[in-house]
Amino acid sequence: MLDLLLVNGFAYIDERYQKVNIGISGERISYIGKLTPEAKRVIDVHHNRILPGFIDPHVHFALYCGTVTSRDDFVSGSRSAIYGGVTTIVDFLDPSRNAKELVETYNKRLAEAKGCNVDYHFHACIKEPNGDLEEYVLKMKDLGINTVKLFTTYSETHRRTYDEDIKKLLKLSRKYKFLVCAHIEKDDMIMHDKVLTYKNLPDARSSAAETIEAMKLCEMAVKTKGKLYMVHCSSGHTLESIVTTYGKYIGKNIFIESCPQYFIFNKEVLKKDNGYLYTFAPPLRSEVERRKMCKYFDYLSSIGTDHCSFNKADKESHPLLEGHPLGVGGIETSFLAMYEMFGEKVIAKMCQNTAKIQRFKYKNGIKLKNYADLVIMSSDPQVVNKPHGDADYSIYEGMHLSNKIVSTIARGKFVLKDDKFYPHAGKLLKCEMRRL
């Protein structure tokens, strides 16, 4: 007998809505069809749409940024995620320089992730490597991790990885089939003048600094036949340049992630009285660039949020760029806000593509044997309110949305049902290590 049967829903399967009933046994989907097999519990979905649970490949919970720690930890951040239909998150280990430090950062972050309400995983993160890179990669694989993030910038805080090591990592990524995730900005083009305030952010971290460095790394990826995953692409010029020059390598050697904020806002909001609430790195760009992001949307591999939330006072009390906490929350609104703009094609970029890129087994959509991670969406309009995490604001507050996530199911259990949240024990995911 099934544990749960969802009836009268339109499930998004094989890129279209199908009127089927979905049966769940334990944590998995065990029935998809027109019949109504016996179940301990039958839930009428009332003709709402059923979508796969979303995977956010880019979150920062409980991240110390030099002056304050981000407001959402794994408990509150994952609660917010559930309200947004996100049932799997990928956070980052602290940057490490060698295999020994990698293990230490893994154990530390694993302890911090206790209480996470959704399934979770980590990207390894490297800085100023001082050990054998191959040993680092093999240790990462041992830990069940298939992605390592590096920064081409932040030399001032000793987090940069330099070109020679990036090339080595890309070569290793070909040999060992993993992804080199890169935060891409040209380090010597970043302005660090002590008089700069948050209003100077778009100039201090310019669009050109992203584009120039991205083109260099794409060339490296193509020449080494490695696998490069560009995180949080912010600039329409960058995306257009990559598509124009390296379009045929996208999805093979080059993968590009972007975040909702770069499609919804432009840098003009920083001029508002409360402009300090919209600060993150890379920063918002011009309206021309925002439109280009939308134009080339189809070339993106995935959508992540870069969720790193702060309170209003955290931002307001540090107006100078030095010490200003960069980052915003967004995990609760990411899907609906992007769906509003791009419709169903957002779904694959927030589920199947990421499951494939990360090599998460049984996470790629509504299929038999997959984990029963499901989202029930109604077409009730809503105005975005305060988020359900611990931060006291969201940049999406006041936004009008045409749909609403009414329920979220994680591994077969309702974690959100008719607006009520039910705590859940998320599990640590390990990547499948077969070839990409």
User: How far apart are CB 343 and Zn ion at their closest, in Å?
Assistant: 26
Residue nearest to Zn ion (CB): 306
User: How far apart are CB 274 and Zn ion at their closest, in Å?
Assistant: 23
Q: Which is nearer to Zn ion, 280 or 393 (CB)?
A: 280
Using CB under 5 A as the binding criterion, the count of chain residues that bind Zn ion stands at: 1
User: How far apart are CB 42 and Zn ion at their closest, in Å?
Assistant: 42
Q: Which is nearer to Zn ion, 72 or 306 (CB)?
A: 306
Q: Which is nearer to Zn ion, 118 or 231 (CB)?
A: 231
User: How far apart are CB 357 and Zn ion at their closest, in Å?
Assistant: 16
User: How far apart are CB 4 and Zn ion at their closest, in Å?
Assistant: 35
Q: Which is nearer to Zn ion, 306 or 332 (CB)?
A: 306
- Binders of Zn ion in range 209-268 (CB under 5 A): none
Q: Which is nearer to Zn ion, 257 or 373 (CB)?
A: 257
Which amino acid does the sequence have at 282? P
Query: Mask: binding to Zn ion, 396-415, rule CB under 5 A, as x and -?
Result: --------------------
Q: Which is nearer to Zn ion, 181 or 348 (CB)?
A: 181
Task: State both tokens at 340.
Answer: 């509003």
User: How far apart are CB 175 and Zn ion at their closest, in Å?
Assistant: 27
- Binders of Zn ion in range 27-66 (CB under 5 A): none
User: How far apart are CB 306 and Zn ion at their closest, in Å?
Assistant: 4
Q: Which is nearer to Zn ion, 305 or 352 (CB)?
A: 305
User: How far apart are CB 58 and Zn ion at their closest, in Å?
Assistant: 6
Query: Mask: binding to Zn ion, 317-346, rule CB under 5 A, as x and -?
Result: ------------------------------
Q: Which is nearer to Zn ion, 259 or 416 (CB)?
A: 259
Which amino acid does the sequence have at 248? K
- Binders of Zn ion in range 279-318 (CB under 5 A): 306
For Zn ion, the binding residues (CB under 5 A) are 306
